[in-house]
Chain A
């Protein structure tokens, strides 16, 4: 039986991917990309979860033996930053596209480009 975390995360990835594949508006594609990122991050986190353990911060009563896996959390911390950076860059490109072509429809932009 697949766990709800996995199912939800993969569903998010697929929803985002669907937006990238079939939407014609460039902004909606970007929204799809962001949703995909969220899904990937969730999936990464849920891979490292061990049921019944707490956050991996060494403190009173919590040793290495009763904390969840810290490695995916470090990975996700990096991945979030990368996601934000790529989104910001893509948004600047979208602004430039709109200034140049006066539309955000990918099909029309391709036709205008020739």
Chain B
């Protein structure tokens, strides 16, 4: 039995067994084993990832092939780590065995996507992943799941058309063969020869892949499914959904670079210092950051807030991929890892809050830090990491990304990513304050801390957030292996880009020293005044009661009013209107054409016969 097959199929088999047995205690154990096997094997294969392991099954019509290289190992590592934590959290939040089946099935799907070595395998596992996650959402909310399903199907068809298109011309699904053909095309184009694909076909291919991977990654304007789907399912599962499954879209974009990037770059030329097609991806990524961030700030529901924030963070990764230098690619991969870590952690925290209080809106919460100290500590780590505060992993990855964008002199994209970071603080302060501090509603007085499985899952992810944050060199080493040369220099604690350095250890030491100084001042008796919650000011004036913006209700109402014009433009509404319009059109056609009058059907027959006669059939 090959290790790769075990990694991919173990969760699926475990999920099916858990669903069939459906005994309390046993199904949890089976599910955990199913998620732990890929984790163990991925850790064991770390040494051998560079030599490249393959696995193939012949299904008669086509082969299912897997290959493990450095890049695949990196993504598989993210998937098994966050996936294992999410499955562990499911132990305390899963409603029934149905969820075990589909959560593990989607883990199998995403592992298959990351390990696929040909386009057909990639597509099959992509669909397994989509189907399983759709079923997870369907369990909680039908309309959200249908929205997700529709957009996913549009993406999947786009990908299928692109794949058949490539197969028709290349004659092989294998990544290596496809890559070779496109590279040869690029040379031929450069020397003015004949290429296999014309430039119109290439543009179509690029557009199709953009739609296919953009849907899964939650790229603007295809992001509309994500807020609903992320918030309307088991929140433990969402940590995998947002942390890992959205990375499948990111992986797809990187794959697009690997397969047809050379040809695209040659064909469409450059825009400023990025390639033109990459700039399109980066610009859409930038819009994703801004739109996701602003909408996250306006949400009144915790789950929705993090769903939008998740979209916003994936935007960073897209910017990194789009800029397309080796450094920005590394930054994108680094941010993919850190996003999976802190966003997985965030959704586990949300799962804990929802599990323990049963409430989801800010208005019903407050003062939970005293009641759930452990969860609060975890939330503290996650908040620092997402906001990008050293010495956590979120800072390191964002810093590399900013440096990558700035070093390429791309002012518009730079402005977008910096704006995204600022807006990140805006929505995080809301979460920090409204949930953990302030006055506690009396019905939350007997809230307990996180159950053990959730606590362990959170601890795993939080540890990785801290460790990889203090030692970003660990990640940098992996990324450099992928590219085969040292792009991010430095050692275990220092990232050195040649034009900038980030020393995580030094910053950690300064931080601890600063905290000690602050503690000394506090305990020596600094003047302290207890601030009541109502002590808020607006431009230096006390707030009147008729404009009551507490942190828990309408805190960002002024922002909402300022953005009123832009909020009227909503892609979600646009898609819904298009859907309603199509339905109306179909209804009208049905009424006029299929009208129940036999004689009009006879007329249609006559008309068709006449048309055929004129054609000379």
Q: Which residues of A are at the interface with B, using a C-beta cutoff of 8 A?
A: 17, 20-22, 29, 106, 110, 113
Contact = CB atoms under 8 A, between A and B. Distances in A.
B603 interface: yes
A17 B602 contact: yes
A22 B599 CA distance: 7
| Chain A binding surface SS class | helix
Nearest to B595: A110
Interface in B583-617: 596-599, 602-603, 606
A113 B606 CA distance: 26
Interface of B: 596-599, 602-603, 606
Contacts of A17: 602, 606
Given A29-B598, A113-B596, 15 more contacts: A17-B602, A17-B606, A20-B599, A20-B602, A21-B599, A21-B602, A21-B603, A21-B606, A22-B599, A29-B599, A106-B597, A106-B598, A106-B599, A110-B596, A110-B597
A113 B598 CA distance: 14
Nearest to A26: B598
Nearest to A20: B602
16 contacts: A17-B606, A20-B599, A20-B602, A21-B599, A21-B602, A21-B603, A21-B606, A22-B599, A29-B598, A29-B599, A106-B597, A106-B598, A106-B599, A110-B596, A110-B597, A113-B596
A36 to B, nearest CB: 10
Query: What 7 A-B pairs have minimum CB-CB distances, sorted nearest first?
Result: A20-B602, A21-B602, A21-B599, A21-B603, A110-B596, A17-B606, A110-B597
Contacts of B599: 20-22, 29, 106
Nearest to A23: B599
A20 B599 CA distance: 7
B266 to A, nearest CB: 62
A51 to B, nearest CB: 27
Contacts of B602: 17, 20-21
Contacts of A22: 599
Contacts of A106: 597-599
Contacts of B597: 106, 110
Contacts of B603: 21
A29 B603 CA distance: 13
Contacts of B606: 17, 21
Nearest to A14: B606
A97 to B, nearest CB: 12
Nearest to B597: A110
B225 to A, nearest CB: 41
A17 B602 CA distance: 8
A107 to B, nearest CB: 9
